[in-house]
Structure 1
Amino acid sequence: MLTYDTIDSLCRAAEEAGQPISQVVLADQAEQMEASPQALYARMLDSLKVMQNAVQAGMAPDLRSASGLSGGDAAKMQAYAATGGLTGTFLNRAMARALAVSEYNACMGKIVAAPTAGSCGIIPGTLLSVLDEGRCTEHQAVMALFTAGAVGMVIANRAFIAGAQGGCQAECGSAAAMAAAALVEVSGGTPRQCADACAMALKNQLGLVCDPVAGLVEVPCVKRNVGGIAIAFTAAEMALAGIRSRIPVDECIDAMREVGEALPCSLRETAQGGLAATPTGQAVKKRIFGSREG
C-alpha cells in the first residue's frame, strides 16, 4: 500500500508499475478503502461534474456575494477572452473559469475544495480548460484528479493545506502544485515530470501569506486563484519541456512547512495583517461588520 508521505515514493511506484501516478493511486485507494476501482472512478467523475457546474453557475453576470465583494468578474473575463487579449483566448478563458468557481464559492455555491475552498478555482481553471478546449478526454481528466489528489495528500501529510496553519502558500500553492501535476499527466508527461511541475509550482508561491480582507474568503483569495492557474500552467510547461527542479519536490514541501511555521499569526488567516490591515481593507471590514470586533 502507498503511504503518501513523499512524492518520490509515488513516482517510484508508478515507474515500477509502468503506469501513470493516477493508475497506481486508484488501485491503491480501491484496496485501502475496500471499494472497486469503478466505484471510486464514479465518485471522482461526480467531483469533476461539480467543478463543471460551478464554472457554469459562476459565469452568471449578475452573481454577487452577500458582502458585495465578489461576483460578475468571471463574466467580464469570459467576454474579454473573446478578444484574445495579451495571452490568447485559452489562458483568458482559463482565468474566467478560475474566477467563476472562486466567486461561486463566495456566493455559497457548491464547489469542490481542492484542496480547500479558498483555492477551489485553480484545479477547475486548469484541468477543465484542457478538457473543454479538447486537449484531453473526460477519462484523462478524471484520472488526473487522482494524481492531483495524491499530491494533495502528500502535502497535507508532510506539511499543511490550510491557510490558518501555513498561509496561502498552503492553499493556493498546494492547489497549483496539484494542478501542475494533473496537467503534466494529461499531456503525456512522466511521473518524474509531474514531480518537477509540483516543485516549480510550490517554489513560485513559497511564502505567500493568508490575509483575507474582513476575514472573508473573497479578497484577495478570488484573484489569487487566477494567479495560481498561471503558475500551474507555466510549471507544467517547464516540466514538459524537460526542465528539472533543482530542489526535489519533497524538499520544497518541507521548505513550505518551515516557512509557514515561521509566519506570524497576523499572516495566517487571522485578517490582522497584510492586505486585511490596509486602510481600504479596514474600511471594507467596517462597512460589512460595523464597529464589532472580530
Structure 2
Amino acid sequence: MRFSSLAQLRQLCEEEGAPIARIMMAEQARESGLSPEEIESRMASYYKVMKEAVRKGIYDNPRSRSGLTGGDAKRVHDYKAARDPSLGGEAATAMAYALAVSEVNAAMGRIIATPTAGSCGIIPGVFVSSQERFGWDDGVLVRGLFAAGAIGYVIANNSFVSGAEGGCQAEVGSAIGMAAGALVEMRGGTPEQAMHAVGLALKNSLGLICDPVAGLVEIPCIVRNGFGAVTALAAADMALAGVRSAIPSDEVIGVMLEVGSAMPEKHRETAKGGLAQTPTGRKIMKELYGKGDPS
C-alpha cells in the first residue's frame, strides 16, 4: 500500500482529489493484480452476506449453540416498532441490526468478519440501517466497505484488531472507527472529517477489555456490538458537525497499542478475568463445561 497511516491516506486523497474508497480500490487492484471491477464485485458479494445476516438475525431469531444468547435483536427491533426509543428510530435500528449479525455469528451462521467475528455486527448494523434510511443503492455501501477497509488496514498494521492481543478495544473499537469513518465518507464528508471520526470513535473505546463469559463470543460481545453501532453513528455525526479529534487519529491508534500491550493477560480473551470471572460468569462456565474453566 502507498499509505501506512491515516495522515498518509488523507494526503493521498487530497493529492489525487479522490475519496478514501477510490484510493483503497486502486491499491487493492494494484496489489492483487485483479481489475477494479473484479475487486468491487467481490466486495459486493461480501455486502450481500452482511445484509442476509441482518435479515436472519431479525426474522429467523437464531439461538446460539450454548443456549446463552439469541432473540435480543428481535426484541430491540420489535420495541422500536411499538415504542418511541430514547435513541430515536434510526439509531435503534442500527443497534438491532448489529445485535442481529452478532447473534447469527453466535449461532454459527454465515457472517463477514469486519474486522473480526467478535465485532462482526457493527459495520453491517451501521451500513444496512443507513442504506434503508438514506435510500442508497448497494454501490454506495460497497464503496463504503473499501473506505472501512482502508481504515482497518492502518489500525491493524499499527496496533491491534484482535482481542487476544489488545482487548476488546482492538476488536469492537476498531470496528467502530472503521464504521464511523466510512459513514462520514458515504454521507459526503471529507477525508479529513472521516479521519476525525476515527479518532473520536477510538478514544471512546480505549481500555475496553476482552472478557468473554465461558470463552464464547456471546456475553458480553453481542451487546457490545449493539452499543458499538450507536457509538459509530455518534462519532460520524460529531465529525460531520465539525468536531475534531484533538489528538490526531494516528496517535490515538498508537495509544491503543500502548494500552493493549499493558493490559493484563487475563483481560485479553482468556475468560480468566472481568465479567467471565464474576460469580455468575463462573456459574455459567461450570454449567457448560462442568468446571470453572473452559480450557
**TM-score, normalization by structure 1:** 0.97
CA contact (8 A) 1:95 1:226 kept: yes
C-alpha separation between the residues in 1 aligned to 2:12 and 2:219?
40
| Aligned residue number for residue 192 of structure 1 | 192
Superposed counterparts of 1:29-108, under 5 Å:
29-60=28-59, 62-82=61-81, 83-108=83-108
Superposed counterparts of 1:13-32, under 5 Å:
13-32=12-31
C-alpha separation between the residues in 2 aligned to 1:238 and 1:113?
26
C-alpha separation between the residues in 1 aligned to 2:135 and 2:171?
27
Name the SS of the counterpart of 1:171 in structure 2.
helix
RMSD over aligned CA atoms reads 1.1
CA contact (8 A) 1:212 1:269 kept: yes
- CA displacement at 1:61 relative to structure 2: 5.6
CA contact (8 A) 2:91 2:233 kept: no
C-alpha separation between the residues in 1 aligned to 2:172 and 2:281?
21
| Aligned residue number for residue 232 of structure 1 | 232
- CA displacement at 1:292 relative to structure 2: 6.8
Structure 2 residue identity aligned to 1:210 = C
Gaps of 5+ in 1: none
C-alpha separation between the residues in 1 aligned to 2:292 and 2:169?
30
Q: Which moved more, 1:11-20 or 1:136-145?
A: 136-145
- CA displacement at 1:92 relative to structure 2: 1.1
CA contact (8 A) 2:285 2:292 kept: no
| Aligned residue number for residue 125 of structure 1 | 125
Structure 1 residue identity aligned to 2:32 = M
Residues 1:280 and 2:287 are matched in the alignment: no
C-alpha separation between the residues in 1 aligned to 2:62 and 2:153?
33
C-alpha separation between the residues in 2 aligned to 1:84 and 1:34?
50
- CA displacement at 1:133 relative to structure 2: 2.0
Gaps of 5+ in 2: none
Structure 1 residue identity aligned to 2:165 = Q
C-alpha separation between the residues in 1 aligned to 2:292 and 2:88?
45
Change beyond 3 A, Cα 1:62–1:229? closer
Q: Which moved more, 1:278-287 or 1:58-67?
A: 58-67
Superposed counterparts of 1:143-162, under 5 Å:
143-162=143-162
C-alpha separation between the residues in 1 aligned to 2:11 and 2:96?
36
Name the SS of the counterpart of 2:59 in structure 1.
coil
CA contact (8 A) 1:169 1:205 kept: yes
Structure 2 residue identity aligned to 1:117 = A
Q: Which moved more, 1:144-153 or 1:55-64?
A: 55-64
Deviations 1:197-218 (A, max 9, x none): 0000000000000000000000
**TM-score, normalization by structure 2:** 0.97
C-alpha separation between the residues in 2 aligned to 1:136 and 1:167?
34
Structure 1 residue identity aligned to 2:16 = A
| Aligned residue number for residue 266 of structure 2 | 266
C-alpha separation between the residues in 1 aligned to 2:61 and 2:235?
34
- CA displacement at 1:135 relative to structure 2: 4.5
| Aligned residue number for residue 2 of structure 2 | 2
CA contact (8 A) 1:127 1:182 kept: no
C-alpha separation between the residues in 1 aligned to 2:263 and 2:138?
40
- CA displacement at 1:90 relative to structure 2: 1.1
C-alpha separation between the residues in 1 aligned to 2:265 and 2:87?
37
Change beyond 3 A, Cα 1:225–1:62? closer
C-alpha separation between the residues in 2 aligned to 1:87 and 1:245?
24
- CA displacement at 1:26 relative to structure 2: 0.5
Structure 2 residue identity aligned to 1:35 = L
Structure 1 residue identity aligned to 2:178 = M
- CA displacement at 1:134 relative to structure 2: 2.8
